[in-house]
Amino acid sequence: MATDTIPTVADLERPVDDVPHEINKYDFITQTTGVFKARKGLNREVVAQISEMKSEPGWMRDFRLRSLEIFKSKPMPKWGGDIAIDFDDVYYYLKPTEGQSKNWDDVPKEIKETYDKLGIVEAEQKRLVAGVKAQFESEVVYGSLQEDLGKQGVLFTDTDTAVREHPELLRQYFGKIIPPEDNKFAALNSAVWSGGSFIYVPPGVHIEFPLQAYFRINAESMGQFERTLIIVDEGASVHYVEGCTAPMYTTESLHSAVVEVIVKKNGRARYTTIQNWANNIYNLVTKRAMAYQDSLMEWIDGNLGSHLTMKYPAVYMMEPGARGEILSIAFSSKGQHQDAGAKVVHCAPNTSSRIVSKSISKNGGRSSYRGLCKVEKGATGVKSNVVCDALILDHDSRSDTYPYIEVEEQDVSIEHEASVSRIGEEQLFYLMSRGLTEAEASSMIVSGFIEPLVRELPMEYAVEMNRLIELQMEGSVG
């Protein structure tokens, strides 16, 4: 991956021991009361009420109501995973606080403690990030942006604020990259969305440190539907990092985001996700970027948590010279199905893409790679390379690979390869002969297997990722 204008691991390097938080830090429940909770269920009244609570303009209310109809008219997908959601048994909107804070001290104590435990507050104090958004249930409760970036015209707000304060810019792109008709869950998000990040980077502005968002679902039977829109203007660059966690409840929760990204001429955007939802969360997300002339869009997507994830970040290369790179890692353990992947659509000549997917299935987990590489008519001189590797660690687990390759041009070079294998016995024997236990050896091999992703993460995420992998690997036998 190209890293010349986007901060690299080296930029962020610090001692590994300095990482503050513990591995089991996610599984705690914050006792909050919240200021407003829409009643369970999905209908026109609930959707209209969300819009009213947010004092939205009429066009957004109409957009939501239209999207609800689209959601109702679309069948559930027959592919991917088993989706057993009772849509009438979900809270679609839960407002945790009155208004958003610019100072952690103004955030209600119990919520601030949540983010303290997750290490967000400290990361910001140490200036490892250029801006922070913290979303708790349906609303962003805390937001900050380095002053100088604001002065350069960078916008980093929650999307609700953008609807009020930057309506023209927002309307130009909102729902244009992923229309509600696109799929059932994009329609659902379009109907009940709340929160998410809105980012605008003006021409030529490079944001050195990542902008970070932290999504937390705390309540039971909660649906979180954040909506993110990122616009990178000509020659600008940004790195956006999101983390997602939730405690474990007995009933399922639903997370269904829509993320739209525009990268204009010569711009660069990197979008990094470390998804560590609890194992009873349905994570059904649509992410799509449009990349214009000579721009670069990168998705780095790590999926470790959730009960079922269906997520295929896409890059549409709209103009000559655009590039798309997607790095996807999935780790499925007991009770988990990661149906993750990537899509690259070449709409213009001399565009290039690369997809690297690594998946690990263990302890009865199922990992699926599902991807698309499409070359549209007229997109000559296209190069695309897709590599998928899967590891299966035991005989209860399952691995699937479903790449779709559609070529409508002659002058192209498309390569795809995939392999599924187990941990090599020779490797294990070698490591064990050096004094490691079998579990340690397996863990080390898995770490090496996913190293290409970890290498691309900001340091604190890289360390966290390694710890999560170790935790997942505990007690496993190769």
Among 378, 451, 471, 474, binds other proteins (CB under 8 A): 378
By C-beta, is 249 or 402 nearer to other proteins?
A: 402
Q: Is 321 in the site for other proteins (CB under 8 A)?
A: no
At residue 304, the 3 state secondary structure works out as coil
Cα–Cα distance between 407 and 345 in angstroms, integer? 10
Contact (CB, 8 A) for 373 and 355? yes
Q: Is 288 in the site for other proteins (CB under 8 A)?
A: yes
By C-beta, is 193 or 461 nearer to other proteins?
A: 193
Q: Is 12 in the site for other proteins (CB under 8 A)?
A: no
At residue 334, the 3 state secondary structure works out as coil
Among 152, 380, 427, 466, binds other proteins (CB under 8 A): 380
By C-beta, is 45 or 411 nearer to other proteins?
A: 411
Q: Is 172 in the site for other proteins (CB under 8 A)?
A: no
Q: Residue 24: CB partners within 8 Å, gap ≥ 6?
A: 471
Cα–Cα distance between 446 and 451 in angstroms, integer? 8
Pair of tokens at residue 82: 């088993």
Q: Is 62 in the site for other proteins (CB under 8 A)?
A: no
Cα–Cα distance between 301 and 330 in angstroms, integer? 8
The stretch near other proteins (CB under 8 A) out of 14-22, 39-47, 267-275, 387-395 is 387-395
Q: Is 376 in the site for other proteins (CB under 8 A)?
A: yes
**Cβ 378 to other proteins shortest distance, Å:** 7
The DSSP secondary structure of 178-230, one letter per residue, reads S-GGG-HHHHHHHHH----EEEEE-TT-B--SPEEEEEE--STTBEE--EEEE
- Amino acid present at 159: T
What are φ and ψ of residue 154, in 5° steps? -70, 135
Say how many C-beta atoms besides its own lie within 10 A of residue 182's C-beta. 17
Contact (CB, 8 A) for 464 and 456? no
**Cβ 42 to other proteins shortest distance, Å:** 20
Contact (CB, 8 A) for 285 and 310? yes
What are φ and ψ of residue 256, in 5° steps? -140, 95
**Cβ 299 to other proteins shortest distance, Å:** 17
**Cβ 388 to other proteins shortest distance, Å:** 9
**Cβ 345 to other proteins shortest distance, Å:** 7
**Cβ 379 to other proteins shortest distance, Å:** 9
Pair of tokens at residue 141: 């409760």
Please, which of residues 429-458 interact with other proteins by CB under 8 A? Answer: none
- Amino acid present at 400: D
Q: Is 392 in the site for other proteins (CB under 8 A)?
A: yes
**Per-residue interface string for the shown chain with other proteins, residues 394-433, x marking contact by CB under 8 A:** xx-xxxxxxxxxxxxxxxxxxxxxxxxxx-----------
Cα–Cα distance between 155 and 240 in angstroms, integer? 13
Burial 114-125 (b: 16+ CB within 10 A, else e): bbebbbbbbbbe
Among 80, 96, 108, 180, binds other proteins (CB under 8 A): 180
Burial of 269 (0-12, 13-18, 19+ CB in 10 A): buried
Q: Is 182 in the site for other proteins (CB under 8 A)?
A: yes
Q: Pairing state of beta strands 337-346 and 366-375?
A: parallel
Cα–Cα distance between 360 and 338 in angstroms, integer? 10
**Cβ 288 to other proteins shortest distance, Å:** 8
Number of H helices, E strands in the chain: 11, 24
Q: Is 393 in the site for other proteins (CB under 8 A)?
A: yes
Q: Is 264 in the site for other proteins (CB under 8 A)?
A: no
**Cβ 262 to other proteins shortest distance, Å:** 11
Q: Is 235 in the site for other proteins (CB under 8 A)?
A: no
By C-beta, is 109 or 176 nearer to other proteins?
A: 176
Among 141, 201, 281, 390, binds other proteins (CB under 8 A): 390
Q: Is 347 in the site for other proteins (CB under 8 A)?
A: yes
Q: Is 114 in the site for other proteins (CB under 8 A)?
A: no
**Partners of 460 in beta bridges:** none
By C-beta, is 95 or 374 nearer to other proteins?
A: 374
Cα–Cα distance between 460 and 243 in angstroms, integer? 12
Pair of tokens at residue 287: 């992410």
By C-beta, is 123 or 291 nearer to other proteins?
A: 291
**Cβ 392 to other proteins shortest distance, Å:** 4
Q: Is 78 in the site for other proteins (CB under 8 A)?
A: yes
What is the total count of residues that contact other proteins (CB under 8 A)?
53
**Cβ 361 to other proteins shortest distance, Å:** 8
By C-beta, is 6 or 390 nearer to other proteins?
A: 390
Which residues of this protein are in contact with other proteins, per CB under 8 A?
A: 70, 78-79, 176-183, 288, 290, 316, 318, 345, 347, 375-378, 380, 390, 392-395, 397-422
